[in-house]
Chain A
Amino acid sequence: MNAERSAAVVRRWVAAYTRGLPAEVRRDRADEIESDLWSEIADAAAGSGEGAVGKDILVRLLLGMPADIRWRFDQPPGAPGPVPTVGDPTMYARNISMISVIGGAAWAIWIAPAILFGDNAWVGTIGMITMFTLLIGSLGLSLATLGFVFGNIDRLHGIASLLGAIGGGFGLLLAGGVYWGMVLLPVGSAAVMWNLARLRVVSSKLAWAHAGSSVATSLLALPLLTNLIPPASAGVAVFVLLALALEGYALSWIAVGWSLRAGTWMQEEPATT
């Protein structure tokens, strides 16, 4: 993609995430990004190739998207309304930690009937339990992943943020039957937990457990989803291993959430004066 097309994508993104903000805030952000784009393209005209700068602009856009979203939520609303108060980071962190525990527990429950009862796990009373816990588990773990991303957006590596945001997004769709979430949610949450372990927010043992079960889940679910191994002809061993990986993934979420339950992991915004 050439530089001008990439710049147009950036402009559309800025217009989208600043919508609804006071005109002055919108204009300032748009002008600042416009100035940056202009300087980068002018630099490229003098040096590096245009294709290279077009790609660089897109990469800068993608890696910064989670921070843009977090910035947007930090802004006071444009319309007159109540004066915004600074959120309590500890309360936010506690909520996300508890959502991790609840989501992990629900996720751990739905796998059991799915394995024990096969197709019958989705009908009758058992089916209701399976569906309900799958729904709560998927929503919980997705929201927890997104919560960890946005709660640490300034210190997480851009790629970890991006994978976390994509995984969290697909995890939400999992509740609606988009089973790619089974592959992408573990990948995203593993990237986030791994990065949080490097930042010493999560213990390295928990991060290893989480990453290990995530990789196992994704690797086992991927061939089934892509029909590389047709589910009908997959042996029992594949499903048993997948169930173990999913249970491990759920338990690692419970452990992470529980270890952070005090809510002190959240980075603090500076006090406003």
Chain B
Amino acid sequence: MRRKSGALIPLEVSILEASAEVRRSGQAEVHGYELAKVVRDLRHARRLTAYGTLYKALNRLERQGYLASRWEEPQIAADEGRPRRRFYRLTLEGEIALNEARAEARRTSAGRAAAATVE
């Protein structure tokens, strides 16, 4: 089954949801590890998303224009004695894509419920 260009896979939807969740909590940007934690909580998973899967998905979402990223100033990281962080934020396109994915999920579950009722 062909994946439509720009269509989102479940992990990507979870990442966008996590980004939106973080923004709702008043934080404009979020780094990879923090996103992984929010995704884990949203998906009720036991483990954090694997490194390769998480950063590849972030890379794709950024190329699609759904997320934007920036590296923090090295001096800030150095002052805090930790590696520099890459921060991601949800773009307007990402918000639209997330809303479309949610609407699609609602349509699918409504269709399933209707089919179950008929049966």
Chain A residues within 8 Å of B, Cβ to Cβ:
10, 28-29, 31-36, 38-40, 42, 56, 59-71, 153-155, 158, 199-201, 264-272
Contacts and interface: CB of A to CB of B under 8 A. Distances in A.
Q: Which 8 A-B pairs have the closest CB atoms?
A: A64-B52, A64-B50, A67-B52, A68-B52, A63-B50, A39-B33, A267-B3, A264-B2
Given A29-B55, A267-B9, A35 B84 contact: yes
Interface residues of B, number: 36
Given A31-B84, A36-B36, A67 B50 contact: yes
B60 interface: yes
Contacts of A68: 51-52, 56
B26 interface: no
Contacts, number: 109
A271 B2 contact: no
A132 B53 CA distance: 38
Interface in B24-67: 31-34, 36, 47-57, 59-60, 63-64
Given A35-B84, A155-B10, 12 more contacts: A28-B86, A35-B32, A39-B33, A40-B48, A64-B49, A64-B51, A67-B50, A70-B56, A154-B60, A267-B9, A270-B60, A270-B64
Contacts of A199: 1
7 contacts: A34-B83, A36-B33, A71-B52, A154-B53, A154-B57, A265-B1, A268-B5
Contacts of A153: 56
B83 A35 contact: yes
A33 B55 contact: yes
A44 to B, nearest CB: 12
Nearest to A42: B82
B63 A270 contact: yes
Contact of B33 (A40, A155, A269): A40
A161 to B, nearest CB: 9
B53 to A, nearest CB: 5
Given A35-B83, A35-B86, A268-B3, A155 B51 contact: no
Contact of B56 (A60, A71, A272): A71
A64 B9 CA distance: 16
Contact of A38 (B5, B48, B71, B83): B83
Contact of B51 (A10, A70, A269): A10
B52 to A, nearest CB: 3
A83 to B, nearest CB: 17
